[in-house]
Amino acid sequence: MTPKLEDVAKLAAVSKTTVSRVLNNRGYLSQKTIDKVHAAMAQLDYHPNVVARQLYKNQTNLIGILLPSVANPFFGELTDTLERLLYQAGYKVLIGNSMNDPQKEAAYLNQLLSRQVDGLIVGTHNQHIQAYQNPGLPVVAIDRVMNEDIPVIASDNYQGGQLATTHLIDRGAKKIIHTNGPEDLKTPAQRRRSAYETTMVAHGLTPITYTVDFNIAPSAKKAVFRQIFQEHPDVEAVFAANDVDAALIQQVAGEFGRQVPQDLMIVGYDGTNLMREVLPNLTTIVQPIEAMSKMALQVLTQRINKEPTEKEYILPVKLWPGQTG
């Protein structure tokens, strides 16, 4: 059996209270007692039972992070950053990779609702899950609108769409195609589409948006991208939904004998450190992952402390000028 506080107390010939005091540096204690207790703890290799403490305090110091998949570079870097900041703030991280499976997400949510975590950061795609309606749990959303009560932290997707589109127009492109997720997903990312379309029209150009499901396999994505070249052989530039898609589009362009950027310009989205290392030439819009993470933590903390928050926090993006557009 693993030793418990009582065992330490017995061995040190003091009460449980005293041991607890030593453990938490609380109240007045003689140095002698402190030493005695420490010795007993060392001898037994005692580790306090975190769960018992959690029960009493009604607090777990755990934060849940619900995202589609940590294997995706954007969500991977986001999780990594959040974990670092949360750790500094005294929290540990419980992850749930929903893979955009509404069932799995709902299951996670229901379990986390049970005072398993002190707060929740969500960035999943299924925002219509019942449990979000009244979570009785501090929640913040990243880049997703869940419901009116949940504050959203997002980068400035409108600005990103504008930056990308004007950049391509400035570089001489007229026939520019945009790829994005399904329109019915009411995500802030749809503002990119809006910015793209507005910017195109403002320049007297015709916007064309291809819908690419976030979930589907790369081969299926490539099939969609091939359609672009088949249906619009005169396409001059593509503004992609993310950097991985941008890479796939560049590959497909190659199949059609197009050199980038001579025969086709490409601008990606996300600009994670990893993708900028691996594909430094890719022109892309960089999301401020660090700033978003800090803001998420700050707003979540406010929620936990029952302080008021804004509904939305929008952080600026920037263009990473590569060689592809």
Q: How far is the CB of 288 from DNA (least distance, A)?
A: 38
In the range 201-230, which residues lie near DNA by CB under 7 A?
Answer: none
Contact with DNA (CB under 7 A) among 25, 45, 56, 308: 56
172 φ, ψ (degrees, to nearest 5): 100, 0
- Does 32 engage in binding with DNA (CB under 7 A)? yes
Rounded to whole angstroms, how far apart are CA atoms 119 and 186? Answer: 23
Rounded to whole angstroms, how far apart are CA atoms 32 and 40? Answer: 12
* Minimum CB distance to DNA smaller for 28 or for 170: 28
Nearest alpha-carbon partner for 133 in 123, 147, 143, 122: 147
- Does 48 engage in binding with DNA (CB under 7 A)? yes
The region that residue 207 occupies, defined by phi over 0 for left and psi between -120 and 50 for alpha, beta otherwise, is: beta
Is residue 161 within 8 Å of 192, Cβ to Cβ? Answer: yes
Mention every residue, 6+ apart, whose C-beta is less than 8 A from residue 299. 140, 151, 153, 309, 310, 313
Contact with a second copy (CB under 8 A) among 20, 33, 54, 198: 54
Contact with a second copy (CB under 8 A) among 5, 66, 79, 132: 79
Work out whether strand 62-67 and strand 92-97 pair parallel, antiparallel, or are unpaired: parallel
Stretch that binds DNA, among 46-54, 71-79, 193-201, 244-252 (CB under 7 A): 46-54
In the range 2-31, which residues lie near a second copy by CB under 8 A?
Answer: 2
Mention every residue, 6+ apart, whose C-beta is less than 8 A from residue 147. 127, 132, 133
What is the identity of the amino acid at 28?
A: Y
- CB count within 10 Å of CB 210 equals 17
* Minimum CB distance to DNA smaller for 14 or for 238: 14
In the range 106-145, which residues lie near a second copy by CB under 8 A?
Answer: 108, 110-111, 113-116, 134, 136
- Does 21 engage in binding with DNA (CB under 7 A)? yes
Q: Is 123 helix (H, G, I), strand (E, B) or coil?
A: coil
Contact with a second copy (CB under 8 A) among 5, 14, 21, 96: 96
- Does 279 engage in binding with a second copy (CB under 8 A)? yes
Give the interface with a second copy as residue ranges (CB under 8 A): 2, 45, 47-52, 54-55, 60, 62, 69-73, 76-77, 79-81, 83-84, 87, 92-97, 99, 104, 108, 110-111, 113-116, 134, 136, 218, 244, 247-248, 251, 272-275, 277-280
Give the interface with DNA as residue ranges (CB under 7 A): 1, 4-6, 13-18, 20-21, 23-24, 26-30, 32-33, 46, 48-49, 52-53, 55-58
